[in-house]
Copies of this chain bind each other. A is one copy, B any other.
Amino acid sequence: MKRIKISNNVIRRLPKYLRKLDDLSAAGVERISSSELGRQMGLTPSQIRQDFSCFGEFGQQGYGYNVAALHQEISKILGTDRNFTCVLVGVGHIGHSLISHFNFENFGFRLTAAFDVKSDMIGKSLRGTPVYDMNELRGKLEDLKPDVAVLCIPSFKANEVAPILVDGGVRGIWNFTNVELDIPTDTTVIENIYFSDSLLALGYYLSEHLDEVEARAAKQRK
């Protein structure tokens, strides 16, 4: 695929479009205008047209977007047709939750193995995914050649295990450890889920909201 550099803001909005298109499909909507899509998503129609124009032309002027075709196109841009494989490292609460409830396949990833240190976990199969001993990690990486590792181990182990993954040929890490990984980013793609950053942002927006409410109330009291 020929690639143009696309801004991170656009990339980050694409999954949001997919979710909305899923909802529209489920509701039986087959076609939607950019203005209606914008209204439902809190974006301007021109922002939507601009987002999509990065990838060529999706819509037909005056006819709106075909919901199924747009979904397929955005999925493809996001690489969901690439048959990526992944392994999950660390079957604690978060790891367990992902194996049990998260549909990796919906997003183009096939989970082939999990690893843990707990003896009562090793040898189990969770929702079809075998759990191996962490000691087998190097060997299994060689066998399975996963594209991605989902890192769910405790923070203090993060930078001990990350280099093993990179040495083992992993090209992407989905990082739930809340620790910045100290590995070269020119050869490995890292996607972090920082719970703390999200909660801090919530704190900011909530503070802002409460200040506005208070300011309005003060104005009315005058």
Contacts and interface: CB of A to CB of B under 8 A. Distances in A.
| Copies of this chain present | 2
Given A15-B197, A80-B200, A171-B210, 8 more contacts: A19-B194, A78-B201, A79-B207, A97-B97, A108-B200, A109-B203, A171-B209, A193-B193
Interface of A: 1, 3, 9, 11-12, 14-16, 18-19, 23, 77-80, 82, 84, 92-94, 96-98, 100-102, 104, 106-109, 147-148, 171-172, 174, 180, 189, 191, 193-212
A203 B80 contact: yes
B93 A100 contact: yes
A107 B148 CA distance: 30
Please provide the 6 A-B residue pairs with the shortest distance between their CB atoms, ordered closest to farther.
Answer: A93-B97, A79-B207, A191-B202, A15-B197, A15-B200, A79-B203
Given A79-B206, A82-B207, A171-B209, A15 B191 contact: no
A189 B172 contact: no
Majority secondary structure, A binding face: helix
Contacts of A14: 200, 204
Contacts of A82: 203, 207
A196 B97 contact: no
Contacts of A94: 93-94, 97
